[in-house]
Amino acid sequence: MKYYKSLFLGFVDLALVNAYISHKQTAKIIGTPPMKRGEWYGVLQNQLLQLKAEDFAGQSDDWVTVSGVQKRRQRSCKVCALLRTDRKKKSFAATFFCERCSVDDAKCWLCNKLRREYKGVPKTCFEIWHDDFEAGEAIPPTLGKRVVLRHPGQEVGKRKKTRRELQLHGCGDQGDDEAEVEKIATENN
């Protein structure tokens, strides 16, 4: 890198640090708690770009417990599912969705990380979906798929036993008998 580029970036960094210190001092004088540094940089970035909260993807509020640890529920990214080359591999999981492209409670799940190169340019799936695929309206025919926004499922109820589970418990061909299925379900619980 040329010396003047690093010198310029050093001055920009110096200005940002000084602005954050000024913010902390102002908050102290006013008597309000100052923002954390990362949060402050995010607000500054949004002000410089003049973006609103509606312009960003929403994040899932669904939580699941996996091996005793609470994690955000992840869904398959629409763009990753379209662009994956190996059909045996799953697409990347996403916890973010686009509020503009979501219909009612059917969400359009998209990655917010630079994972892909599309037409030689590194982009997030969010950018590919909106800039190149025009929010799903201009998906290239070579991908050969259409995107379906699915509504979330109903409340989880009793799971129906599989044919294999019914055979293991000795029901054999009587799998249609409701009493047998209910008996097996109560034994397992």
pLDDT tens-place string over residues 5-34: 999 999 999 999 999 999 999 999 999 999
In this predicted structure, what is the pLDDT of residue 94? 67
Q: What is the DSSP letter of 13?
A: H
> Does position 101 have pLDDT exceeding 90, yes or no?
no
Regarding predicted confidence, which is higher, 66 or 155? 66
Rounded mean pLDDT, 38-42: 89
Domain boundaries in the chain?
3-51, 58-143, 156-189
